[in-house]
Structure 1
């Protein structure tokens, strides 16, 4: 039996999820609509898995590392509306193991909890498509650490990094900064070399880490 806490500010959503899990080996030991209550119930019930919409008004992504600091063995499955690649990266770096969407099939929702409880990662088809399109390597995100060596970036490179983190393509960046596509591509390559990253996901992680991009503006957008 998997002990599960439902963390969602919407009561109707929680009722629906409760119904979905009713006839499976999943016991809902708690339901919460805000971060403070979640930490309290985690301490009280010691669940194996938390199913959370971290984008809801009652929650913050910061509650995940706070909970993991208290209970490192706890596993988080995120269930949210559609999110950008930057949001997914931030969530995974914060400690989310699996990520699904609220309009996923019932079987995917059940599988996400069961697979995560067993130590596996689970992403629904729509999340996988976002990951594929944006070239995100989930394993690299989980293991990535930035060097302590100072990174010297030009003002133009910081502009490019910020726009990449906002989801702009090379063409869109070139139009915004009045640069050729070749120049933007050169900047991107130089940035990746300086940061020691292999793909766009690494650039976005760095932008979030250095706060070149504002989480409230970009990380919880429903637009890709």
Structure 2
């Protein structure tokens, strides 16, 4: 069971996420906090695996909170949930210790995948941000790293189809509809692709698809 704590100064956001996660057999929301200080107080009495953390909060903001979490609760993994999509904020949060960064506009399937990925210790960047960063890399004329030149793993036909659709920006739900299968099946294909390609997040996955000529 993945124990989740929600840290956001807007109660309606916390209520929405709690409702979104309700019914998931492997995820449980065990606490909420409206700022970083209250989150730290919560963690003193309630074990938590993953914190869904907003950046802009009163008393103690997201960046300050991550710093304190690294010092006091290093085993707790952080997934940033924000409306801020600027590259500066993403880099700042990831460098501070967050494992993942997603926008509040993402759908249910992607946030579930993000939570499970971060809980397992894998980095995660939502598809919208990954595509945006990829476009910036192309605009700067940056070339793929040497790691992208390694021998291509053997992907199944269906995995290749899923990878291409991920790279084109489709959500898990949209891919499931296009391929006439379930969201759970697409999540399984996505995890298999990640394991085979040895990439660590969605941005790297899309970049891999580009280097392989799938996009």
Q: TM-score, normalised by structure 1?
A: 0.58
Question: How much has 1:104 moved relative to structure 2?
Answer: 0.3
Q: How many residues align?
A: 138
- Where does residue 50 of structure 2 map in the other structure? 49
Q: Which has the higher contact order (CA 8 A, sep 6+)?
A: 1
Question: How much has 1:39 moved relative to structure 2?
Answer: 0.8
State how 1:111-130 maps to structure 2 within 5 Å. 111-130=113-132
CA contact (8 A) 2:77 2:99 kept: yes
C-alpha separation between the residues in 2 aligned to 1:134 and 1:46?
39
What's the CA shift string for 1:84-136, capped at 9, x where partnerless?
11111111111111010001011111111111101111111111123223449
- Where does residue 18 of structure 2 map in the other structure? 18
C-alpha separation between the residues in 2 aligned to 1:64 and 1:83?
18
Structure 2 unaligned spans of 5+:
146-215
C-alpha separation between the residues in 2 aligned to 1:37 and 1:133?
38
What's the CA shift string for 1:13-66, capped at 9, x where partnerless?
111100111111111111000111011112211201000111234541111011
Moved over 4 A (4+): none
Structure 1 unaligned spans of 5+:
141-224
What's the CA shift string for 1:156-210, capped at 9, x where partnerless?
xxxxxxxxxxxxxxxxxxxxxxxxxxxxxxxxxxxxxxxxxxxxxxxxxxxxxxx
Which of 78, 82, 85 is residue 84 of structure 2 equivalent to? 82
Q: Which of 50-59 and 64-73 deviates more?
A: 50-59
Instruction: Call closer, same or farther: CA 1:128–1:96 in 2, change over 3 Å.
Output: same
Instruction: Call closer, same or farther: CA 1:133–1:55 in 2, change over 3 Å.
Output: farther
When Rg is computed on C-alpha atoms for both structures, the one with the higher figure is: 1
CA contact (8 A) 2:36 2:57 kept: no
CA contact (8 A) 1:81 1:102 kept: yes
C-alpha separation between the residues in 1 aligned to 2:58 and 2:135?
28
What's the CA shift string for 1:57-88, capped at 9, x where partnerless?
45411110111111111100001003211111
What is the alpha-carbon root mean square deviation over aligned residues? 2.0
C-alpha separation between the residues in 1 aligned to 2:56 and 2:127?
20
